[in-house]
Amino acid sequence: MNALTASPLDPATAVYRQVVLAGDPWSREVKCGQIIRLVDLEGNQAADTLFYDARDPANRYSASDTIRRQSALYLGTGTPLISTRGDVLLTIVADTCGRHDTLGGACSRESNTMRYAFEKESMHACRDSFIRGAQECGCHLGKRDITCNINFFMNVPVTPDGRLTFEDGVSGPGRYVELRAERDVLALISNCPQLNNQCNAYNPTPIEVLVWDTKE
């Protein structure tokens, strides 16, 4: 677990607040210098998230470059999120959860079938929400732009033999992660609707997104 770091920012001074229901997509441009906070309202939710350079969306969050730059698998306070071209898109400046997954990826109807049961194929999944959000954001994004994402608040330990395990979450009600945009970025979230995984106690719940212009 990474060290926990609280934020001095007051939600009452945020310039933007939005609750995102489980299964819904959300997108917004976050300007350079702005702070974005994701809040796990009820605990153990997974907020699947992608970031793009708002001026050049082909330059987007790279899981492999971010892991390599920090020499660690999990994200926490101080982690820079690195783009495919080596730029810093955002930096995590506060975190009251302590662990965020970079490897588990987004659930899809195909993975529901493979991991759970054939009859789960029709269930809504994060990849569907990402595609819908990409199409609705007005930035000409599509399926090919849905790449390896961050799972904020999700606990995916790696075993000694290199396997991934999806475990109970380590987050709780009201815990949050806060990031400072180091350039204009487009944030795209799929608030996970997964009903088949113990990591959220089989109960997907809302998150909240807040944005501040500057630190207080």
45 belongs to a structural domain: yes
| pLDDT at residue number 74 | 86
Question: Which of 14, 181, 20 shows the shortest CA–CA distance to 93?
Answer: 181
Total count of domains within the chain: 1
| pLDDT at residue number 44 | 86
10 belongs to a structural domain: no
Number of neighbours of residue 69 by Cβ within 10 angstroms: 15
Task: State how far the Cα of 160 lies from the Cα of 60, in Å rounded to an integer.
Answer: 30
6 belongs to a structural domain: no
158: Cβ contacts below 8 Å, ≥ 6 apart: 73, 103, 164, 165
9 belongs to a structural domain: no
84 belongs to a structural domain: yes
2 belongs to a structural domain: no
Residue 85 corresponds to which tokens in the numbers above?
């071209």
pTM: 0.88
140: Cβ contacts below 8 Å, ≥ 6 apart: 57
Number of neighbours of residue 111 by Cβ within 10 angstroms: 18
- What's the count of helices (H) and strands (E) in the chain, helices before strands? 3, 10
Structural domain for 134, as ranges? 22-212
Residue 9 corresponds to which tokens in the numbers above?
């920012």
| pLDDT at residue number 198 | 62
Categorise residue 23: left if φ over 0, alpha if ψ from -120 to 50, beta otherwise. Answer: left
**84 phi and psi, to 5 degrees?**
-60, -20
| pLDDT at residue number 196 | 55
Residues of the chain with pLDDT under 50: 109, 116-118, 120-121, 216
136 belongs to a structural domain: yes
Q: Look at the chain and count its residues.
A: 216
Residue 38 corresponds to which tokens in the numbers above?
């994701």
208 belongs to a structural domain: yes
